[in-house]
């Protein structure tokens, strides 16, 4: 088809930004600001305690200490979505690690020494760690003044409770559904809090310049998001804040919004503008950083025997946001409207709650609630299929949304050009050889099985978020591309450069993409690198900017070549008259305008501009009605696992991922796919922040927070990109792929485990210990028989 005409698009082009290889890349820890001071935080040892007195006198005596700040220095709350965070805990500390003081000193050594000398008197208070407990009427309240907090209009806090936001979705009638259902499955699923495990711990530096400009360097996925949210939180005009772009060593959502940038900013304000640096170590990243929330899904789903149709789904979805909900409230919202996944269900009733607990706070995590919801929903699907006596793939095919015909429970129409969910599921079934039983291993204590799940991703973003791009020509005919995209490791800069080179038909080397030598004052706006949107959204702005540039080139060339602009085409670095290739101008001849032989010149430098804003999305009303989705990337994932019944260990023998979207750069796309799969599989098998009964983190580092190592990579990972439909306004049809591959692995593995040994695990992760525990509970004979066989009987 059309594909072959492309010079660069879809090709496996190696990255051109190799600063990380050469060591030129600058991360926050590399930034040296003359006169910078170091900040060290002091955390609360209690999960909930009244702060009676803070004695900083000993700390202040340490040589090199400039200041010791406490909550009293900042008598206000901050927050963008809901204003519920203290800068430093004021009256009460709300979780173990809650920063109650900040030491600022000439050296990190002095700051650390002084931090240990801060003495705080506490009155311990009752606390609550479990979100379900926190929802009970007699639970200790984290935010007694919740009703007074300022918040964005679409959030619904419930004053007098720990519920920071309640979302409701109602479609059809559950009573009607219950009457029709022959089979009803009612289950509860749970997922724990997770660390994002970015390689580079978060850090930021800030100073206030003498003209009042606040300058910030931060390890962020969204320098503009930091600017917006800080401006709103501190009541400062956006233009007074300048955020510098840096290389970011991974984010996975944790660095997508305002992190702790306000601490060095406010400290610098207190210290006459002196630069202040706060760089967390790994333990601090666990205690002061933002995590993936814990989730509890309670689901009741009914289906009909006659045609295998799901007739109702009722859900109570609980998002444990920790001590603050500034960012978590949006995720609690998303699980609500995402409610029923890619299935068409006539009667839906959802309450989703964002619930405070005395734990660290939470934020976006790659795949933004989808992986978590699929863990519950796709197990629910397999259980229903079994009760109906149906093949789980067939059951899904009967219930999938129909593009062009179905609507989301919010009422949004499923657009036809989003792709083909059925095709995706069928292809994944082919690739995993569904229907063919896996060959069982010789050891009787090992069993193999397959499973397959749907795991689409629709980006969750505000309906009015925008982005823009500028392309400017240089004297030599090359092009500079300016965008606000944050490079967090994914390589979007390369994809954007490929688009510019493709459109102008010039060598890739002639496109320079501004990477990190930028700040928010000299670059066009972009919301942030998140929601699988960078290539999709910024790509559209870039294509518009290039189009604008091309119009200008044609306009200018038409004057010189004395033809109509429409008869000029741009190729091989030239503006050429169609059909008369001898009539042409090199791009360098028009880049700065055109100079006639007598020295007279016209037009000046050519600069194209473009901007983008979502066109399909709206906000949701109180009943959850509206259009939340710009697009969906349909995906299905399948696994073949081997479980060792004796140790409980699960190995992934084969992992299949199919996504219905073309890509821009094959190497980068596969990088996202493999990386996503490994991360999703690891989340399924290993990851969990463990707390003791007092809310203290037991594994604040990678010794005991387990990340997959090389030896844990599945032997076979098969990735396939389909292009069933091209979303017409997506750049070259490419939808987002940054998150979709994190996908439904936890659900797929849980379903495969059940198919292997009949043990259903509704709590993540599926660690060996948990698998053994559940075998002992659900199938004690299985284990006993195998142990007997080992004895040779």
Partner 1 sequence: MKVESPLTFRTTLPELEGYFRPKSLDEALSLLSELGERAKIYAGGTDLLIDMRLRNIGNKVVVDIKEINELRGIREEGDSIFIGATTTIHEIKTSSLIASRLPLLKQVVERFADQFIRTRATVGGNLCNASPAADTPLALLIYGSEVEIASVAGRKRVPIKDFFKGVKRTILAPGELVTGVRVPVPQGRQRVKYLRFDRSSEDLMIVGIAGAVFEGREPGDFEFSLSYGAVAPTPLLFKGLQDAYKRGGADEVLKIVKEKVSPISDVRASKEYRMHLVEVGTRLIIKELLGGV
Question: Contact residues for partner 1 (CB under 8 A)?
Answer: 40-46, 52, 96-97, 100-101, 108-109, 112, 115-116, 118-124, 279, 281, 283-284, 287, 646-647, 649, 686, 690, 698-700, 703-704, 706-712, 767-769, 772-773, 787, 790-792
In angstroms, what is the minimal distance from the CB of 89 to partner 1? 12
In angstroms, what is the minimal distance from the CB of 123 to partner 1? 5
Nearer to partner 1 among residue 474 and residue 785 (C-beta): 785
Nearer to partner 1 among residue 59 and residue 504 (C-beta): 59
Question: 316 - beta bridge partners?
Answer: 298, 351
In angstroms, what is the minimal distance from the CB of 706 to partner 1? 5
Whether the CB-CB separation of 356 and 142 falls below 8 Å is answered with yes
Nearer to partner 1 among residue 89 and residue 431 (C-beta): 89
Please calculate the CA angle 53-82-189 and round it to the nearest 5 degrees.
100
In angstroms, what is the minimal distance from the CB of 120 to partner 1? 6
3-state secondary structure 180-243: HCCEEEEEEEEECCECCCCCCCCEEEEEECCCCCEEEEECCCCHHHHHHHHHHHHCCCHHHEEE
Tell me the C-alpha to C-alpha distance, in Å, between residue 663 and each of 245, 429, 539, 659, 737. 26, 22, 12, 10, 8
In angstroms, what is the minimal distance from the CB of 116 to partner 1? 6
For the record, the structure tokens of 435 come out as 């229907």
Nearer to partner 1 among residue 196 and residue 427 (C-beta): 196
In angstroms, what is the minimal distance from the CB of 694 to partner 1? 12
Residue with tokens 């859900």: 315
Nearer to partner 1 among residue 169 and residue 279 (C-beta): 279
For the record, the structure tokens of 183 come out as 């089979």
Nearer to partner 1 among residue 586 and residue 715 (C-beta): 715
Other beta carbons within 10 Å of 793:
7
For the record, the structure tokens of 70 come out as 């406490």
**What is the distance between the alpha carbons of residues 228 and 278, in angstroms, rounded to a whole number?**
20
Nearer to partner 1 among residue 27 and residue 287 (C-beta): 287
In angstroms, what is the minimal distance from the CB of 688 to partner 1? 10
Nearer to partner 1 among residue 484 and residue 695 (C-beta): 695
**What is the distance between the alpha carbons of residues 345 and 691, in angstroms, rounded to a whole number?**
38
In angstroms, what is the minimal distance from the CB of 449 to partner 1? 21
Nearer to partner 1 among residue 110 and residue 373 (C-beta): 110
Closest CA to 630 of 467, 397, 741, 491: 467
Q: 433 — alpha (psi -120 to 50), left (phi > 0) or beta?
A: left
In angstroms, what is the minimal distance from the CB of 71 to partner 1? 14
In angstroms, what is the minimal distance from the CB of 404 to partner 1? 45
Torsion of CA 677, 678, 684, 690, to 10 degrees: -140
**What is the distance between the alpha carbons of residues 182 and 220, in angstroms, rounded to a whole number?**
51
**What is the distance between the alpha carbons of residues 354 and 84, in angstroms, rounded to a whole number?**
13
**What is the distance between the alpha carbons of residues 228 and 237, in angstroms, rounded to a whole number?**
9
Nearer to partner 1 among residue 101 and residue 327 (C-beta): 101
**What is the distance between the alpha carbons of residues 770 and 190, in angstroms, rounded to a whole number?**
13
Tell me the C-alpha to C-alpha distance, in Å, between residue 241 and each of 30, 82, 488. 22, 21, 21
Instruction: Give the CA diameter of the chain.
Output: 103
Question: 134 - beta bridge partners?
Answer: none
Nearer to partner 1 among residue 107 and residue 521 (C-beta): 107
Nearer to partner 1 among residue 470 and residue 652 (C-beta): 652
Tell me the C-alpha to C-alpha distance, in Å, between residue 44 and each of 36, 112, 160, 523, 671. 26, 16, 25, 40, 40
In angstroms, what is the minimal distance from the CB of 699 to partner 1? 5
Nearer to partner 1 among residue 138 and residue 793 (C-beta): 793
In angstroms, what is the minimal distance from the CB of 108 to partner 1? 6
Each as own residue / partner, the long-range contacts of residues 53-59 (CB below 8 Å, 24 or more positions apart, any chain) are: 53/120, 53/121, 54/100, 54/101, 54/118, 54/119, 54/120, 54/121, 55/118, 55/119, 55/120, 55/121, 56/101, 56/118, 58/117, 58/118, 58/119, 59/101, 59/103, 59/114, 59/115, 59/117, 59/118
3-state secondary structure of 717: strand
Closest CA to 203 of 32, 19, 22, 77: 32
**What is the distance between the alpha carbons of residues 688 and 648, in angstroms, rounded to a whole number?**
17
In angstroms, what is the minimal distance from the CB of 762 to partner 1? 19
Whether the CB-CB separation of 346 and 171 falls below 8 Å is answered with yes
Nearer to partner 1 among residue 515 and residue 768 (C-beta): 768
DSSP of 106-132, one letter per residue? SSHHHHHHHHTT-EEEEEE-----SHH
- Total residues belonging to the chain: 793
Nearer to partner 1 among residue 405 and residue 707 (C-beta): 707
**Per 3-state DSSP, what percentage of the chain is helix, strand, and coil (rounded to 5)?**
30, 25, 45
In angstroms, what is the minimal distance from the CB of 440 to partner 1? 18
For the record, the structure tokens of 329 come out as 């409230």
Nearer to partner 1 among residue 99 and residue 744 (C-beta): 99
Nearer to partner 1 among residue 287 and residue 721 (C-beta): 287
In angstroms, what is the minimal distance from the CB of 109 to partner 1? 5
In angstroms, what is the minimal distance from the CB of 55 to partner 1? 8
In angstroms, what is the minimal distance from the CB of 70 to partner 1? 12
Q: 454 — alpha (psi -120 to 50), left (phi > 0) or beta?
A: beta
Q: 411 — alpha (psi -120 to 50), left (phi > 0) or beta?
A: left
Please calculate the CA angle 742-747-751 and round it to the nearest 5 degrees.
145
Nearer to partner 1 among residue 203 and residue 624 (C-beta): 203
In angstroms, what is the minimal distance from the CB of 363 to partner 1? 21
Element at 583 (helix H, strand E): strand 580-586
3-state secondary structure 430-473: HHCCCCCCCCCCCCCCEEEEEEEEECCECCCCCCCCCEEEEEEE
């Amino acid at each position: 088809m059309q594909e072959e005409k492309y010079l660069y698009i879809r090709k496996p082009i190696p990255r051109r930004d190799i600063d990380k290889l050469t060591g030129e890349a600058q991360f926050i820890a590399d930034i040296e600001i003359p006169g910078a001071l170091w900040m060290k935080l002091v955390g609360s040892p209690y999960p909930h305690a009244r702060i009676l007195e803070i004695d900083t006198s000993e700390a202040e005596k340490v040589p090199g200490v400039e200041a010791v700040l406490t909550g009293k220095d900042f008598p206000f709350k901050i927050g963008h979505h809901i204003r519920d965070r203290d800068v430093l805990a004021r009256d009460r500390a709300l979780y173990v690690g809650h920063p109650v003081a900040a030491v600022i000193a000439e050296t990190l050594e002095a700051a650390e020494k002084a931090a240990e000398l801060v003495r705080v008197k506490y009155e311990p208070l009752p606390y609550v760690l479990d979100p379900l407990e926190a929802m009970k009427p007699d639970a200790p309240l984290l935010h007694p003044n919740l009703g007074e907090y300022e918040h964005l209009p679409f959030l619904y806090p419930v004053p007098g409770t720990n519920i920071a936001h309640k979302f409701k979705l109602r479609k059809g009638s559950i009573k009607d559904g219950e009457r029709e259902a022959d089979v009803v499955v009612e289950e509860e699923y749970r997922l724990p809090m997770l660390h994002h495990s970015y390689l580079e711990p978060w850090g930021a530096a800030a100073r206030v310049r003498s003209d009042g400009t606040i300058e910030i360097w931060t390890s962020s996925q969204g320098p503009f998001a930091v600017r917006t949210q800080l401006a709103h939180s501190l009541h400062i005009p956006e233009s007074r804040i300048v955020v510098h772009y840096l290389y970011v060593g991974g984010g996975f959502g944790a660095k997508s919004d305002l992190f702790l940038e306000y601490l060095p900013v406010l400290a610098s304000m207190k210290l006459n503008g002196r630069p202040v640096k706060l760089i967390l170590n790994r333990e601090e990243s666990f205690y002061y950083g933002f995590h993936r929330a814990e989730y509890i899904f309670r689901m009741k789903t009914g289906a009909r025997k006659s045609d295998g149709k799901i007739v109702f789904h009722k859900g109570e979805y609980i998002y444990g946001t920790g001590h603050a909900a500034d960012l978590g409230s949006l995720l609690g919202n998303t699980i609500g409207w995402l409610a029923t996944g890619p299935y068409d269900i006539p009667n839906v009733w959802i309450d989703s709650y964002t619930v405070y607990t005395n734990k660290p706070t939470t934020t976006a995590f790659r795949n933004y609630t989808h992986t978590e919801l699929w863990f519950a929903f796709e197990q629910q699907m397999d259980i229903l299929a079994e009760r109906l006596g149906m093949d789980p793939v067939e059951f899904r095919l009967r219930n999938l949304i129909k593009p062009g015909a179905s609507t989301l429970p919010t009422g949004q129409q499923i657009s036809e050009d989003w792709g083909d969910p059925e095709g995706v599921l069928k292809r994944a079934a082919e690739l995993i050889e569904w229907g063919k039983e896996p060959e069982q291993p010789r050891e009787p204590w090992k069993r193999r099985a397959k499973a397959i799940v749907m795991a689409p991703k629709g980006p969750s973003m505000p309906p009015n978020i925008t982005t823009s791009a500028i392309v400017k020509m240089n004297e030599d005919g090359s092009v500079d591309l300016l965008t606000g995209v944050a490079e967090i490791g994914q390589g979007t800069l390369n994809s954007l450069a490929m688009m510019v080179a493709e459109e102008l038909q010039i060598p890739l080397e002639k496109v320079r993409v501004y990477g990190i030598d930028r700040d928010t004052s000299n670059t066009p706006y972009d919301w942030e690198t998140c929601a699988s949107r960078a290539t999709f959204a910024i790509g559209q702005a870039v294509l518009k900017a290039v189009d604008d540039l091309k119009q200008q080139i044609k306009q200018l060339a038409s004057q010189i070549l004395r033809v109509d602009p429409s008869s000029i085409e741009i190729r091989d670095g030239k503006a050429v008259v169609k059909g008369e290739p001898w009539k042409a101008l090199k791009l360098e001849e028009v880049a700065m305008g055109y100079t006639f032989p007598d020295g007279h010149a016209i037009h000046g430098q050519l600069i194209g501009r473009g901007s983008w804003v979502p066109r399909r999305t709206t906000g949701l009303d109180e009943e959850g009605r509206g259009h939340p989705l710009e697009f969906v990337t349909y995906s299905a994932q399948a696994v073949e696992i081997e479980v060792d019944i004796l140790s409980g260990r699960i190995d992934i023998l084969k992992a299949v991922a199919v996504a219905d979207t073309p890509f821009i750069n094959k190497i980068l796309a596969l990088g996202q796919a493999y990386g996503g799969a490994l991360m999703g599989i690891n989340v399924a098998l290993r990851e969990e922040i463990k707390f003791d009964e007092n809310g203290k983190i037991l594994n604040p580092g990678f010794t005991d927070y387990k990340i997959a190592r090389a030896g844990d990579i599945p032997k076979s990972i098969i990735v396939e990109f389909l292009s069933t439909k091209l979303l017409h306004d997506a750049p070259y049809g490419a939808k987002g792929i940054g998150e979709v591959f994190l996908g439904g692995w936890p659900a797929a593995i849980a379903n495969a485990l059940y198919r292997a040994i009949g043990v259903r695990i509704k709590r993540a992760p599926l660690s060996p210990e948990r698998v053994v525990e559940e075998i002992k509970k659900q199938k004690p004979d299985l284990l006993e028989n195998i142990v007997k066989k080992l004895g040779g009987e």
